[in-house]
Structure 1
Amino acid sequence: MTDTSLPGAAARATDTLLDTAYRRIFWRLIPILMVLWVLAWVDRVNISFAKLQMADELRFSEAVYGLGAGIFYIGYLLFEVPSNLLLQRIGARKTIARIAIGWGTICALMSYATTPTTFYILRFLLGAFEAGFFPGVILFLTQWFPSERRAKVFGIFMSSVALSGVIGGPLAGQIMTGMQGIGGLSGWQWLFIVEGIPTILIGLFALAWLTDRLEQAHWLSDEERSAVREDLERDARSLGPREHGFSTVLRDPRLWIFTLVYFCIIVANATVAFWGPTIMREAGFGHVATIGWLVSGASLVGSAVMIGNGLMADRTGRPLLQCVGSLIVGALGLAGVAFALHGSPQMVVVLFALALAGAYGAIPVFWQLPNRLFAGTAAAAGIAIINSFGNLGGFLAPYGLGLLKDATGQIAPGLVAVAVVEALAALIILMVVQRFFARRRA
């Protein structure tokens, strides 16, 4: 029998207990959060596939589509911070369930978006209802996992973004071609209905399944709860003094630098998400189902990179450099797509996969950075501000590319511009953000 009275044996016993507890926390929380984030992205970007039918049927211009796709982020901006602050008052369980039920309902109602005005209103409402989910989950997970375990957890959770493409592409192709004309509805209308209803059901399930706080986690033993509580307290002490106040964080220039970086990341992210199917069609692939499978394959690469980045960041402790590397790869991939677009279709697919992997792979390691500088109310508000204002890039990219395509008939110049913005994010991290952490070590 092991003598746990010895310091080394006691430490090993504690580590084993913590590993077991964190595994149980992971399997309790992460699967349902991943399912919801997959559904959120499927419901958010299914418009990129619906466009392949609805734009011709409803005579929507590229600019109308781009504005409708991007106006989602205006609703997101206006309701993000209030939603995240509300989470601190009523808890993650009610907040996440409310958000999922709301956005699932709006997604199904998108089947009635037959005029530009209705299209804009419903897309705005979709953003308003989804606001708060992502930053709320990020804040929620920081209350369950210490900093040295978060990058892996964030990476696995955020891989849902890429997984949504793996699942959503083929599913969209199947629904739009297989259900065309059923009940007098077009395939794109069925797409919104079929993909909205499951979100409502999972949101109701989340209300019963999620746990707000560690003290309420009766599915952990008393020893496990105690060990995790002590570990989280140890982690908070090790990070040193962090900003906690809401008003103070608003005046902190670091917050706005992070917001600018995230804005650039989301410009690239929204470009590959909302214009991926159009890029494939421009490259010469005509069938909706084929386009769905190609986007799915690229998304699978992105999912692997997101998880791999998270694992590597936990092992190396260098999320900053990994974020820079991902952004550079994404920028090169997107610029390559622009130059290869009317050359080799196969090369476009490969370069698009690199662009998607870079854009998506930067996100989980980016979120490790602000979480090391802010805590408490500052973290809740800071995460929401970074996410909401940063997500204005999601408005600019679809709408700007739509305007450019209407004006020039080409998408390539817009893709080059987005690649430059993505490279700018890498430069800001190297030249500015890196100094934040250098000062803390000094």
Structure 2
Amino acid sequence: METTVETGAAGTAGAVRSHEEAVYSKVTWRIVPFLMVCFLVAYLDRVNVGFAKLQMAHDLGFSETIYGLGAGVFFIGYFLFEVPSNLCLHRFGARMWIGRIMITWGLLSAGFAFISTPNEFYVLRFLLGLAEAGFTPGIVYYLSTWYPSHRRAKITAIYCMGSPLSGIIGNPLSGLLMGGMAGVSGWHGWQWMFMLEAIPAVILGIMCFFYLDDTIGKAKWLISSEKRILEKAKEEENKLTVPDARVGKIFTDPRAWLISLICFCYVTGQYGITLWLPTFIKSTGVSDPLHIGLLSAIPYICAIFTMFFFARSADKHCERRWHLIVPCMMGATGFLALPYVTHSTTLSLVFLSIAASGILTCTPLFWSLPTAMWSGAGLATAIAMSNSIGNLSGFTSGFVVGYLRDMTQSSNAAFYMIAAMLTIGAFAIWTIPAKLVNR
């Protein structure tokens, strides 16, 4: 009799788990592919300046330092408006705020087709940073309202695949547009690239108003029982999470500053890849924009497989620290090796792939840290704070790398600087108590 009862209980529990998995699968197919495409477009519009540089710098007479400063000043605007933007998203909802972000950055990105002076370049990059501020942390916060912590690493990794996909799709596309559209209607190829690649952002921004739902309760595509399953999972998680912190307390919380340092370190490597990858490949002897675009896709293809492997393993083992430390050190190893292989395009691609795989894998795994420490408006603030400070490293990877290249006529010093920052980040991750984030 006891065996029959136990078998029945096990069968019931299995059916409940199966139904729960089906509900989360439904949620994932509804929102994650759309958000991934949004991130792909966002990342493309943020870093296509790295491809435009191959022609734009010559056409407009920009030095490496001018380009680096313009590429980096984006992150000053991003830093200034990041926290206010994420608080606006928390107040007004993802549907309206993410849509607003995408429309404004799309229009500004198209404006780069009309620049002719360094000052115009600087101003538009700064405004683009203001416009896009809050997008990534807003999406991370939005996903945290749908998924409990033990599901978020894999889901965030799927969303963050928009970043390497933008390299896989965007780099060859940018090379094709710059080569194929050059001279059409009297425009340079880089002008057409900026204009045409901005259109999807505006279209997706408009779609956000109609497609996204601000909360589980407002989702008309879910029935009542499915909503209860999702809300119950969030309620259970909230019992294990630190209560919603007041916004002001986040800025005095040492943990918030520690994760901001971690973000700063790995994002230094991230933009070392995304802003300078075409230039690094060109320096190995490749000259055709389309060939550079195709070769630039290889490190991003490798990154997709690495991201998924580490994220799945982190969720399976409920372990966050070492799953973040190892990719960070992969990035450092790749950059440390690059000065010794710049004579070979093939070897350079091997180590750029190792670096890109590690660095881009850090992104989805990093976001499991703040979501395990805070909730509510406190979480929104912590995410925005760490992301805004972290993205200031885009200024480091922009201006400093450009300055070092101008000063030394080589990328080697920049490679060592990026490797050092990634190593510091790995050590900072190690100092976080495992019990705080491993769940």
**Range into which the TM-score falls when normalised by the shorter chain:** over 0.9
C-alpha distance in 2, partners of 1:192/1:303? 25
SS of corresponding position for 1:369: helix
Q: Which residue of 2 aligns with 1:335?
A: 336
Counterpart in the other structure of 1:191 = 193
Distance in 1, Cα, partners of 2:155 & 2:357? 18
Q: Let me know the Cα RMSD of the aligned residues.
A: 1.6
Distance 1:43 1:3, change over 3 A: farther
Q: Given that residues 335 and 416 in structure 2 are in contact (C-alpha distance below 8 angstroms), is that contact kept between their aligned partners in structure 1?
A: yes
**Alignment partners' CA distance in 1, 2:188 and 2:5:** 70
Do the aligned partners of residues 4 and 107 (structure 1) sit closer, same or farther apart at CA in structure 2, a change above 3 Å counting? farther
Contact 1:17 1:227 (8 Å CA) reproduced: no
- In structure 2, the residue matched to 1:378 is 378
Q: Residue 368 of structure 2: SS of its match in structure 1?
A: coil
1:161–1:303 CA contact under 8 A, matched in 2: no
Distance 2:133 2:203 in 1: 19
Please point out which of 110, 118, 122 is paired with 1:120.
122
How far did 1:7 drift?
Answer: 3.3
Verify: 1:410 aligned to 2:423, yes or no.
Answer: no
Q: SS state of the match for residue 283, structure 1? A: coil
Report the alpha carbon displacement of residue 8 of structure 1 after superposing the two structures with TM.
2.6
Query: Normalising by the residue count of structure 1, what TM-score does the alignment of the two structures yield?
Result: 0.96
Work out whether 1:48 is the aligned partner of 2:50.
yes
Per the alignment, residue 303 of structure 1 pairs with: 304
Question: Which segment is superposed worse, 301-310 or 121-130?
Answer: 301-310
The CA distance in 1 between the partners of 2:77 and 2:305, in whole Å, is: 30
1:422, distance to aligned residue in structure 2 (A)? 0.6
1:382 counterpart letter in structure 2: A
Aligned pair count reads 435
Structure 1 CA distance for aligned equivalents of residues 405 and 426 of structure 2: 27
- The AA in structure 1 aligned to 2:53 is K
2:390 equivalent in structure 1:
390
Structure 2 residue identity aligned to 1:399: F
Q: Does 1:181 align with 2:183?
A: yes
Deviation at 1:9, TM superposition (A): 3.0
Contact 1:243 1:373 in 2 (8 A): no
- Indicate which of 144, 157, 162 corresponds to 1:142: 144
Other-structure match for 2:322: 321
Q: Structure 2 matches for 1:119-268, cutoff 5 A? A: 119-237=121-239, 239-242=240-243, 244-268=245-269
Whichever residue aligns with residue 149 of structure 1, its letter is R
Report how far residue 322 of structure 1 moved.
1.0
Q: Which structure 1 segments of 5+ residues have no match?
A: none
Determine the structure 1 residue equivalent to 2:422: 422
The whole-number CA distance in structure 2 between the counterparts of 1:439 and 1:108 is 44
Secondary structure of the 1:285 match is: coil
In the alignment, the residues of structure 2 paired with residue 345 and residue 36 of structure 1 have an alpha-carbon distance, to the nearest angstrom, of 32
One-letter code aligned to 1:390: G
Return the alpha-carbon distance in structure 1 between the equivalents of residues 102 and 310 of structure 2. Answer: 28
Gaps of 5+ in 2: none
Q: CA deviation at 1:386?
A: 0.2
Q: Aligned in 2, Cα 1:406/1:140: closer, same or farther, shift over 3 Å?
A: same
CA-to-partner distance for each residue in 1:367-399, whole Å, 9 max, x for gaps?
111211111111000000000011100111110
Structure 2 Cα separation of the partners of residues 328 and 218 of structure 1 = 44
- The alpha-carbon deviation at position 273 of structure 1 amounts to 0.5
Displacement, 1:359? 0.8
Per-residue deviation at 1:411?
Answer: 1.1
TM-score normalised by length of structure 2 = 0.96
Percent of aligned positions with the same letter in both sequences? 36
2:222 is paired with a residue whose SS is coil
Secondary structure of the corresponding residue to residue 33 of structure 2: helix
| Aligned mates of 1:118, 1:11 — CA distance in 2 | 62
Change in CA separation of 1:439 and 1:17 when aligned onto 2, cut-off 3 Å: closer
Q: Which amino acid counterpart does residue 361 of structure 2 have in structure 1?
A: G
- Corresponding residue number in structure 1 for 2:70: 68
Match of 2:61 in 1: 59
Report the Cα distance in structure 1 between the residues aligned to 2:429 and 2:233, rounded to whole angstroms.
30
Aligned to 2:98: 96
Partner secondary structure for residue 173 of structure 2: helix
**Which digits, 9 at most, give the CA deviation of each residue in 1:284-329, with x for residues without a partner?**
1111111101111111111221222211111111121011000111
- Work out the CA distance in 2 between the residues paired with 1:198 and 1:323: 32
CA contact (8 A) 1:155 1:308 kept: no
